[in-house]
Amino acid sequence: MDHGINPDKLREECGVLGIYTKNREDTAKLLYYGLYALQHRGQESAGIAVNDGLRSNYHKGIGLVPDVFNEKNLGDLIGEIGIGHVRYSSEGRGHLENAQPLVARYRRGSLSLAHNGSLINADIIRERLEDDGVIFQTSIDSEVIVNLIARYSNDGIIPAIERTMDLIKGAYALVIMTEDKLIGIRDPLGLRPLCLGKRGEDYILSSESCALDVMGATLIRDLEPGEIICITKDGISSTYYERPKRRASCIFEYVYFARPDSVIDTVSIYEARKNSGKILYEEHPVDGDMVIAVPDSSIPSAIGYSEASGIPYGEGLIKNRYIGRTFIQASQSMRELAVRLKLNPLGINIKGKRIVLIDDSIVRGTTIRKLVHRLKNDGAKEVHVRISSPPVILSCYFGINTPDRSQLIGAVKTTEEIREMIGADSLGYISEQGLIKATGLPKEHFCTACFSGDYPIDVGEKLNRKMKKYFKD
C-alpha cells in the first residue's frame, strides 16, 4: 500500500514507549516528551494510555504528537504506569480505530499494548480467531496479539505472553501495561529495537535511546532478542521466551530509521553512518569540489565521505524545517511539490562545482532524479551520487512498507541504468559488506533481506502446523 510515501525512502515503522513511575502526576507529560523524541518513527497518529492501579485511561488521535495532546487531555491521564505510541501504517489504514495503544478489558482486568513491527501470519490467526467468534475492532495485527494474550491468560500474563510468542511470527517490539505491571518484549530475532532506561526510581522502555535522553533517563541496556522484561513496584524481572540461534536486527535502523543521537545494540547510530561514508569513499572514490548531503539522515555519511576524501563538506540543499516528511502528502502532484518545498538547492554554494551528493537510499529513484536535475539547473558542473546503503531489491515483510519489487529501481535496473535515469555523472552504492563493517557488528547480527533476499523467517504461508495445535486446545 502506498499512502503518500516519499518515493525514494522506505517507510518507517512505529515508536513505542513505556514508563513505570512513582510520580503519577507526571506520567503522561513524560510520555509526551518521549513520544516527541520518537516522532520521526511515526507521523500518522499518536496515543498515550495510563493505569492508576484500578483502570486504564487513554487519549489518542490522528496527527503529530503536539496536535494530538494538550494540557487538558494530558492532565486527565493520571497513573503510575503509562505507555505511548507513534505510528505509521505498515498494516491498517490511517483511521483512528487503528491508532495505538490498544486498550482492552478482559477477564483478568485491563490490558494495553503498543506495537512496533508486523506479523507475517496475522491474517491466518485472525481468520481462526474470527471462526471462534472473536470480533475485531481494528484492521491492525496488534489486535491479534491482544486477543491471543487474553485467550491464554488463565495462568497469568507472562505465561500468556510466552504462549502468544510461540504462535506469532514476524517482527515486534511490544510494551504492555496492566494494573500493576509494565512489560517489554522483543521478538526472538531482535528485528525491532527496544531498550531499557532509568530515571531516578522510574523505569522506561523505548524504541530508541534518544527518548530516554529527552526524558532525563539513562540508558541501561537494550533488550535481548526473545527477552521479556516485567517491571512492578518490586523491581525488574527478566525471562526469555527463546534464546535465538541467530539475530536479525533491521540494518535500516542504522541507515535511516533511527535518530543519529540514538544508540542501538551498543552502536552509536551517528558513528555507524559516519563510518559508512568513509567506507563509501573507499569503495567509490571520485574527484569533487564539495560533498553535500540530502538532509538530515545522510549528513553523518556525508561528513564521513568528506573526511576520508579530503573534499570539503558544505551545505548544498537547504531543508525547510517546517514541513514534515514528504510522504505525508496524499497525491503524486502534492508529493512532488512537497519535495521542492522541503529541499532547495543553495545556488551560491554549488555553482560551477563538482558536487558529491550523499543520500542514504534509493527506492524508486524519482526524488533523487529531481534533486540532481535541480542541482544542475542551479549551476552544478557535475553531480556524483553516492548512496550509503546497497540497492533495495526486495520487499520487507517485517513492518517496513516497501513497494512491489517491480517498482524497486534497484531490482529492475543496473547501476549504470539508474545513473542514466537520474542524470548523475556517476553513481555508487556502498556494498552490503561495507555497510555491515560500518556498524562494527558481525553480519549475523542483521537482517539484510531487502538487499540480499536472506529472510530470517520463512515468509511463505507454511505457518499453520503449530497454530492448529494451539487452536485445538
Residue 39 identity (one-letter amino acid): Q
Cell of 281: 569513499
| Distance (Å, whole) CA 416 – CA 7 | 20
Identify the DSSP state of 105: E
The 3-state DSSP composition of the chain as helix, strand, coil percent (nearest 5) reads: 35, 25, 40
Question: Can you say how many angstroms the Cα of residue 340 is from the centroid of all Cα atoms in its chain?
Answer: 25
Catalytic residue, chosen from 14, 230, 250, 450, is 14
Q: Where are the beta strands (DSSP E) in 187-279?
A: 195-199, 202-206, 218-222, 227-232, 235-240, 249-250, 263-264, 267-268
Judge residue 331's burial from the number of C-beta atoms within 10 Å of its C-beta, 0-12 exposed, 13-18 middle, 19 or more buried. Answer: exposed
DSSP string, 195-221: EEEEETTEEEEESSHHHHHHTT-EEEE
Mark whether 14 is an active-site residue.
yes
155-186 as b/e: b if 16+ CB within 10 A = eebeebbbbbbbbbbbbbbbbbbbbbbbbbbb
114-152 as b/e: b if 16+ CB within 10 A = bbbbbbbbbebbbebbeeeeeeeebebbbbbbbbbbbbb
Tell me: cis bond preceding 180? Omega within 30 of 0 counts: no
Q: Which residues are catalytic?
A: 14
